[in-house]
């Protein structure tokens, strides 16, 4: 392609603006009344680094989510930052696609996604969201009848998108995510009295509260199934069920 804009600085220097070209090596030729000179493959065109999209756009604070990034200009030296932290694993599928693993985040919040290499830098401002870690910190009541249908309130973090709460091997019913820090669920029926694990499942993973709920046989012999709270100051109330 001919150069449309150039300036002769002196007998040894020409300043010019490159014309459009295809990615890869290109030859440069200079011609004047004294002759023509060709420099074979001495200039390289590259695709400008551009990010056009990525998915998913959120993941757990612990990291480990595989994110697919699309665009152009991706090379083997490409690096990706989630906020201030580098991706621990980057796969260049092609010059238009990357697969990267999100690192652990510093806090549950939106962070910049930055892609850079020798071709440039692309920054997606506050575009990837780290979700709070799933954790159950409280559960009430901690006991209920074998017949089930006890409404249990769970508190903690990372409940957004919760899909299931299991009591032992059986899923509860009437699951309602009140907020990221609270949900309610009705216990299923059970056949045997005793403590069972409570497992909360969300798109980000699962959390198990060992022996978190106790089924009580109200027709059986006298028994204490639960004490709450477990730690108190002198004079505080303790509830036995």
Q: What is the mean pLDDT of residues 172-191?
A: 97
Q: What is the mean pLDDT of residues 123-146?
A: 94
* Residues 18, 22: Cα–Cα separation, whole Å: 12
Q: What is the mean pLDDT of residues 60-68?
A: 93
pLDDT band at 226 (very low <50, low <70, confident <90, very high): low
Q: For a pLDDT cut of 90, what percent of the chain falls above it?
A: 78
Q: What is the value of pTM for the model shown? A: 0.68
Q: What is the pLDDT of residue 4?
A: 84
* Residues 196, 168: Cα–Cα separation, whole Å: 5
Q: What is the pLDDT of residue 75?
A: 95
Is a pLDDT exceeding 90 seen at residue 47? no
pLDDT band at 217 (very low <50, low <70, confident <90, very high): confident
Q: Give the largest CA-CA distance in the chain.
A: 112
Residues paired with residue 166 on neighbouring β-strands, in sequence order: 171, 199
Instruction: Give the DSSP per-residue string, 72-118.
Output: E---TT-EEEETTEE-SEEEEEETTEEEEE----SSSSEEEEEEEET
The pLDDT tens digits of the residues spanning 105-117 come to 999 999 999 999 9
Instruction: Give the DSSP per-residue string, 13-71.
Output: EEEE-PPP--SEEEEEEEEETTEEEEEEEEEEE-PPPEEEEEE--EEETT---EEEEEE
Tokens representing 6 are: 């150039």
pLDDT band at 10 (very low <50, low <70, confident <90, very high): very high
Is a pLDDT exceeding 80 seen at residue 32? yes
Q: Give whole-number Cα distances, 59 to 62, 105, 203, in Å.
A: 8, 10, 9
Q: What is the mean pLDDT of the chain?
A: 92
pLDDT band at 85 (very low <50, low <70, confident <90, very high): very high
């Amino acid at each position: 392609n001919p150069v449309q804009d150039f300036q002769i600085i002196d007998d040894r220097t020409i300043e010019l603006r490159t014309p459009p070209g295809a990615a890869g090596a290109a030859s440069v030729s200079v011609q004047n009344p004294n002759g023509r000179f060709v420099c074979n493959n001495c200039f390289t065109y590259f695709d400008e680094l551009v990010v056009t999209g990525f998915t998913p756009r959120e993941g757990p604070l612990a990291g480990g989510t595989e994110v697919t990034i699309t665009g152009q200009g991706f090379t083997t030296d490409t690096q990706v930052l989630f906020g201030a932290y580098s991706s621990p694993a980057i796969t260049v599928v092609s010059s238009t696609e990357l697969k990267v693993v999100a690192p652990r985040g510093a806090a549950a919040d939106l962070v910049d996604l930055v892609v850079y290499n020798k071709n440039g830098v692309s920054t997606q401002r506050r575009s990837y969201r780290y979700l709070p870690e799933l954790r159950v910190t409280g559960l009430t009541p901690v006991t209920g009848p074998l017949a089930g249908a006890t409404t249990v309130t769970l508190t903690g973090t990372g409940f957004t998108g919760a899909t299931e709460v299991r009591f032992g091997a059986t899923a509860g019913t009437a699951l309602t995510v009140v907020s990221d820090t609270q949900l309610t669920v009705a216990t299923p029926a059970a056949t045997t009295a005793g403590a069972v694990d409570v497992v909360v499942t969300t798109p980000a993973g699962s959390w198990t509260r060992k022996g978190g709920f106790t089924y009580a046989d109200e027709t059986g012999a006298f028994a204490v199934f639960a004490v709450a709270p477990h730690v108190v100051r002198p004079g505080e109330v303790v509830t036995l069920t």
